[in-house]
A and B are shown apart, each in its own frame.
Chain A
């Protein structure tokens, strides 16, 4: 039986939070982070999955699944893309231990494809830029997580 964790799921993001806790000193070096990130994964005909991840100080304060974006905290930004785009990023991180030049969050989001950043207003979106190194390192924790993927209905 595989011990791989399914992406996307609360459990998968909890694993990232655990990885972050294990190297809290490295995150302390990057400085405090105060933002709410919403991750939206497009599963094709199966709809979308939405997760809210709260960063405060040097910790993840909450991870929860949302049934719609309206449930998100007023202050947040959204990073969204197809499961395939997320899968490619995660697998790239897993292969290299960190993303290569063409799979960083900034690289994937700047042209709005394959991932896209949005938010209720520009300052919220700017938080993604303001804490980018921390958020990148948070996702780099995927290097140590055996991951399987939700199947996409065509």
Chain B
């Protein structure tokens, strides 16, 4: 009796046959229409868009039904088994016309928190300023990786024919890993440490992770959540007490704007094809709006920025009035991004479009 299973025995026999010169070679002619492909690298190198041309660039309205990881454009043998995992098979449910471009851009615009931040420029800061920076970094460390967990949750549902989207989302996961890591590093690097978590933020994070489908999760995260965070990164750069935070926020800001760009163009693509889903999208945006407004009740969220804007805890009140414009900017940009996606949110918005004047601008 053989020591090996039938499949191993068969494999061994096949190898012996090959040694005797019995080759198949049918794979060489398996994909005649896909053979002879020519590419033209762009000025800055060979991008995904440069190779996915002709038939290879045709993205089907419905991803292949074989359900395997076979790459789009190859010959798929009839006995290729399905993985039984892909249920996001309709292009509109994940697609964004800028996904390949954003992927190419993301891979060239990667940076790292080990060598790209001028850590040597860290300097001893007054206690209240260091605490404000550390609290802000605690908040960001807490929320950043939801934008890694969310794509990770959906990636294995996305049909393999939509590789542009999968690849872009993979870059987003790496971007968010870097964000979580760089804010943690900053909190721990200058004699301070992590301060208080934000229970209020968890409600928004849960709404993103528990959204009933990919597009509502994306609308809530890519457009609403990351759009708001993008403004907070800009504010972080504005308020930064040293070149270290300044650099961190500028680098994070760039990544975040890519994520928002995917979300806006995905929602635009989706809504044009599924207007019947409009109510569901409005509903989840409403959840997000109320969740984020609840954060104003949390001192650990707003007060650190007010201290930095006032340049010290003794001027925290002044700092608060100086920052009022940020909320208005967040809302304006949020509504404008939704407008591009084809959604008129203003009449349905659950929070004020503008904050009342908080005091004299100083």
CB of B358, distance to nearest CB on chain A (Å): 14
**11 A–B contacts, CB within 8 A, in A order:** A32-B104, A58-B44, A104-B250, A110-B329, A121-B336, A126-B257, A126-B333, A127-B257, A129-B256, A130-B254, A132-B250
Of the residues A56, A121, A126, contact of B43 by C-beta under 8 Å: A56
Which residues between 307 and 362 of chain B lie within 8 Å of chain A, taking CB atoms? Answer: 325, 329, 333, 336-337, 339-340
Known A132-B253, A133-B254: A59·B261 in contact at CB below 8 Å = no
Interface band, chain A: 20 to 34
Closest residue to B268 on the A side, CB-wise? Answer: A123
Distance A131 CA – B234 CA, assembled complex (angstroms): 13
Query: Which 8 residue pairs across A and B have the least CB separation, nearest first?
Result: A57-B44, A31-B109, A122-B336, A130-B257, A31-B108, A129-B257, A57-B43, A106-B237
Distance A41 CA – B309 CA, assembled complex (angstroms): 28
Q: Is the CB of B43 within 8 A of A129?
A: no
Q: Is the CB of B105 within 8 A of A106?
A: no
- Interface residues in chain A, defined as those with a beta carbon under 8 Å from any beta carbon in chain B: 28, 30-32, 34, 56-59, 101, 104, 106-107, 110-112, 121-123, 125-127, 129-133, 136
Known A122-B337, A123-B264: A129·B237 in contact at CB below 8 Å = no
Known A106-B234, A110-B238, A129-B230: A122·B104 in contact at CB below 8 Å = no
Q: Is the CB of A122 within 8 A of B258?
A: no
CB of A137, distance to nearest CB on chain B (Å): 10
Q: Is the CB of B261 within 8 A of A126?
A: yes
- Give the residues in chain A near B265, CB-CB below 8 Å: 123
- Give the residues in chain B near A136, CB-CB below 8 Å: 250
CB of B310, distance to nearest CB on chain A (Å): 15
Q: Is the CB of A133 within 8 A of B108?
A: no
Residue B80, interface by CB 8 Å = no
- Give the residues in chain A near B45, CB-CB below 8 Å: 57
CB of B362, distance to nearest CB on chain A (Å): 12
Distance A133 CA – B104 CA, assembled complex (angstroms): 18
Closest residue to B326 on the A side, CB-wise? Answer: A110
Q: Is the CB of B250 within 8 A of A106?
A: yes
Of the residues A32, A107, A130, contact of B44 by C-beta under 8 Å: A32
- Give the residues in chain A near B257, CB-CB below 8 Å: 126-127, 129-130
- Give the residues in chain B near A132, CB-CB below 8 Å: 250, 253-254
- Give the residues in chain B near A32, CB-CB below 8 Å: 44, 104-105, 108-109
- Give the residues in chain A near B241, CB-CB below 8 Å: 101
Which residues between 80 and 118 of chain B lie within 8 Å of chain A, taking CB atoms? Answer: 101, 104-105, 108-110
Residue B235, interface by CB 8 Å = yes
Distance A129 CA – B237 CA, assembled complex (angstroms): 12
Residue B305, interface by CB 8 Å = no
CB of A1, distance to nearest CB on chain B (Å): 38
Q: Is the CB of A106 within 8 A of B109?
A: no
Q: Mask for B294-309, Cβ within 8 A of A = 1, else 0?
A: 0000000000000000
Q: Is the CB of B261 within 8 A of A123?
A: yes
Q: Is the CB of A31 within 8 A of B237?
A: no
Residue B199, interface by CB 8 Å = no
